[in-house]
A and B are shown apart, each in its own frame.
Chain A
Amino acid sequence: MAAFFGFGQSAEVSIKLDDEEARKLAKIRAEDGTTETHYLFYDGETVSGTVNVTLKKQNQKLEHQGIRVEFIGQIEVYYDRGNQHDFISLTKDLARPGELLQNTSFRFEFPHVEKPYESYVGTNVKLRYFLRVTIVRRLTDIVRELDLIVHTLSSYPETNSNIKMEVGIEDCLHIEFEYNKCKYHLRDVIVGKIYFLLVRIKIKYMEITIIKKESVGTGPNVFNENDTLAKYEIMDGAPVRGESIPIRLFLGGYDLTPTMRDVSKKFSVRYFLNLVLVDEEDRRYFKQQEVTLWRKPDRPPRRALETNAIRDNGEHVEEEERLSEDEEAATNKVSKAVPPHQNGENGESHEAEPVDD
């Protein structure tokens, strides 16, 4: 209808990738929570295809000031929408200014494009890749975009020591926990164990949560967002000294991305394993430990069973740290503890547990 009144665009633009049939698709969560599916690219892959311009009315010429196609990698911070940051912007001119008299196809190719970051849609930030075709006109340009998804692949980390740590609250609770690695691929299995050295509290249960921390901006304008992606009970009831509780957590079932550090100096996405013990008075004792998530090239051969034995490559760092309590008063006192952690899950309030120092 708009075209009929002369306001609408007088041509349709479509982008067809060269290897659409063979290319894998990937899903990504959109801002509104729905899932979008796009073609999947990796770093260094050539992006090539054809731009088809279809005239709405045959025999009516289309005047333009030039036609170009761009490959853009862009970070968009939600609170600053006007200020998008293109960390990649490649342009190919498809036609010089002139007129199109008939439907026309233009080939394009961006050879071996560098795609350094993974596509990401977060709470406060979005990193996307897309192709944009622009037919420049005097009044309104005709623009066509095609979103692509990029997965960044990593090779198996050279060092992947386990995480072993003794933590506790003096005269109350001492545990030693061990995760078999510090770097996990997205379909990996976390294997570990918790060893109870001292238990003077009545524990109700113990769980592991996976927390995603997204921080956007720099300096005073940092926006942090914590998200609990998984909650996994690993122990029911109160153990006594000497008990060893196994951990086995399959990551494949959760909505995880690789760890991203300081992406284009704009944002970071980091993952933490949070070990939480809850006592009978619902006080929470926790210890967060960052783990690096990475994307493995091929879907790894899946194995439901993973030995409980933790590979000890002798590189783990042993240090004693204090277990934090999920309690502001407590965390303030325990200065060495991990950074203050807002209980972002459901805002339960807990009685303060005095820490005897």
Chain B
Amino acid sequence: MEAMRIDDTNSVEQEKFLETAVKTVKAEAFEMKRSLDKSKRMDALKHASIMLAELRTGLLTPKYYYRLYIDVVNELNHLESFLLDELEKEKKEESIAELYEHVQYAGTIIPRMYLMITVGVVYMKLMPQMRAELLNDLVEMSRGVQHPLRGLFLRHYLLQVTKSLLPDAAEGVEPAIPGSGTVRDTIDFIKLNFSEMNKLWVRQQHQGPSKEREKRERERMELRILVGTNLVRLSQLEHLTQEVYEKEVLPSILEQVVSCRDPISQEYLMECVIQVFADEFHLATLNEFLASCKELAQEVHIKNVLIALIDRLSLYVSNAVGSNIREEIQLFEIFSAQAEGLIQSRSDMPIEDIVSLHTALVSLAVKCYGEKLAYANTVFLSLANNLKDKQVEGIDMYSHAGKELIRVLRVPVDEYKDVLRVALLTDYPRAMLPLNYRGRCTASAFILQNLIDNETGLKSTDDIDAVCSLIECLLSDQPDQPEDAHDSEEFADELNLIASMIHLIKAEDRDVQFLLLNGLRKRLGAGGKWRIRKTLPPIIFSIYELALNYQQSDGDENWDMKVRKMFVCAMGTIGALITTGEMTQLPLNLYLEGAIVANRIKFSENAMVVYEFISKALSVLEDEIADSRERLSALALVTNSVLKVDCLASENWEPLVGQIILAGSKMFKKADQVRTLCSAASLYWKGKVAESEGELRNGNKVTEILKKSAKVAAQCMEPLVQQQLFVHLLNQYYYFYEDGCTVISPDVLSELISRTRDAAIQLEPSREADDIDQHLQHTLQHIRNTKDKYPELAEKLQI
């Protein structure tokens, strides 16, 4: 807070200084223009000089000085165009030369230099043959301004106003106008201006008290573009040839950068060089540039420089038309050696920097040398080794280093779009290890996500092994895994990804497919309670799916055995869900699903498998399911499954159904007993057994069970529930009656109808009562509608 306040008062003060200065500038500019209009050139220059004297101030910070500078330069532009107009009309060579001399009488250097530049520009425009000489003169004379801020702005002005005048004619060819200069003159001019500006910029760092260091660094950053403009100008020269760049321009820039020993300047200028000059130039001077990188100050974030260069060149090379550049220049070797050397030489390099250097290298390897997996692999190996050397582990993925690490791990995944290819980078998983548990899981998760997004089919054990090697941390408990890891959303998401992965297993051969599934099952089975709950069910479904595809033996003599093996495998897997996974409902469902699937496949032992599966399901029901609601629905599922099965012999069928009825009659609530028994009754009606064709249609058994149900219903104390059950029973009876169960007599129906009708009247009015009544009315209506079919019944009921 305090710092803010200080800054505030400071800016108020600055505004005041600026305002005063601008006022003078305005006033003198006005006088200057008036004198110009009256053709009093000397007076105009005098006013311009007073105006320019405002730029001698030492009171303003760079930001405010810049504003003042802009105002002054505007006025100078006016002066320049006015003088150009006038002198063009006069057509006298001496007048401009005299004017150029005249402004040099200014007693102070700042106004003098600005005026010299302004008049010099007019001079150059009028007499192009003087360009080379004048440019040299101006840049040399500017040496007199040694004050960093004032010098930087002066030289910036020089650079700005001469922008369109810089000679750019090819070297060695006499220019059209002798003396108008060639690109050589411009290079010399900018080289000098650049090195002088950089010196001033660096010197700025050493001015004032050391406690204001940060402020000064901030101010310097604001001014860097002034220095950088020199390099931009150089890069814009049409006739700056690669040769000149290589032999002269770059060496002199590098010399300046290295020798200034200023981290801010070094880092900025190196990046600047990378950004402004052409890729071809960079390629040609790679070694020189990199050699200089080594000589930079320790404080320079050299990795930024290197990364910028690598990124730039990898982009260029990967887009290059003739990609033989890659062969010509051992880009990868050069850069990786550089990076390694850099890391070795800077023991205090932050982890994130080490990692991001590798990121750039991986990008280069992956983007430009996609076919050379060894390159990318080397980088991961070196990254792993470097991190090992630094003894870093358990990196948080949200830390700087962690983010970088995740980034580098993503590069080949995103670029290859083929996880199997990533898996060929054998050292890749090692680079994951320094991350903490969550970080590794995240990395594995995006690998899986990529696998799924690209629908990469897994066709062999090798494929599975490859993928598993990349997602190790998702498959089993990890030493550094937090206790409650399974509670997180991420954990669930990651398991879903694994589940999705299972569906990518697509072997060409069915046997192999089973082998793969079984193999993966074993791996996943070791995942512990929380994982297998989600990962094993899809395996089981995949096995069922595979089994269904295996309906025909296709001449395979081992067919029976193979199908059986699948079910054994599925059964064992379900068993694991119960024992290790501590699940009930789902295994029960899976058993039943298995029974149905097995029933559809006509292999020799299918009846045995079906019996086993259903009995297992019943065991689960008996042993594991205590909650009555769950039991109810589970029993319904079992019942339905048995209904769908037709391969069981009576000797196997009977015990199962008996068990269902027993389970139904053991239901805790009377109402539940009634309902389960009702549905069990249908087993004897609609169920099928192996020996006989068609449904059993055992009316005696049906009525027996229904009667039993009715007895139980009668024991029900609550009138509402009882009524509900009786209506249900009525429906059941009528259903079987309608379906041709002759054992059911119309008497029974009529008794049920009258009973329910009577009870309906007795019920106290309530919402539930209404619903039940409605149900009853619908049932009766249905009976009425069908009365014509059953005259006997109609008569009995008198409807």
Contact = CB atoms under 8 A, between A and B. Distances in A.
Given A236-B109, A240-B203, A304 B104 contact: yes
Main secondary structure of the interface of B (DSSP, over half): helix
A149 B186 CA distance: 51
Nearest to A203: B146
A248 B104 contact: yes
A231 B112 CA distance: 13
B694 interface: no
B527 interface: no
Given A236-B109, A236-B110, A303-B97, A250 B104 contact: yes
14 contacts: A205-B109, A232-B107, A233-B108, A233-B144, A235-B145, A236-B56, A245-B144, A246-B144, A250-B101, A302-B94, A302-B97, A305-B100, A305-B134, A305-B137
Contacts of B105: 250, 253
A123 interface: no
Interface in B105-158: 105, 107-110, 112, 133-134, 137, 140-141, 143-148, 150-151
B101 A304 contact: yes
Given A305-B100, A308-B140, A233 B107 contact: yes
A289 interface: no
B98 interface: yes
Contacts of A239: 146
Interface of A: 205, 231-240, 243-246, 248, 250, 252-253, 302-305, 308
A231 B148 contact: no
Interface string B581-594: 00000000000000
Given A233-B107, A236-B110, A305-B133, 13 more contacts: A235-B109, A236-B56, A236-B146, A237-B151, A243-B146, A245-B144, A248-B141, A302-B98, A303-B97, A304-B101, A304-B104, A305-B97, A305-B134
B745 to A, nearest CB: 122
B640 to A, nearest CB: 95
Given A237-B150, A237-B151, A304 B100 contact: yes
A252 B104 CA distance: 11
A234 B151 CA distance: 13
A227 B104 CA distance: 22
Nearest to A196: B146
Contacts of B98: 302, 304
Contacts of B151: 236-237
Closest 9 CB pairs of A and B: A237-B147, A304-B101, A237-B146, A304-B100, A239-B146, A233-B108, A304-B97, A233-B109, A253-B105
A230 to B, nearest CB: 8
A246 B107 contact: no
A140 B100 CA distance: 58
A302 to B, nearest CB: 7
Contacts of A235: 109, 144-146
Nearest to B151: A237
Given A244-B143, A305-B137, A231 B107 contact: yes
Most buried by B among A232, A237, A245: A237
Contacts of A252: 101
Contacts of A253: 105
A345 to B, nearest CB: 13
A304 B203 CA distance: 32
Contacts of A205: 109
B147 A238 contact: yes
A38 to B, nearest CB: 27
Contacts of A237: 145-148, 150-151
A237 B199 CA distance: 13
Contacts of B137: 305, 308
Contacts of B100: 304-305
Contacts of A245: 143-144, 146
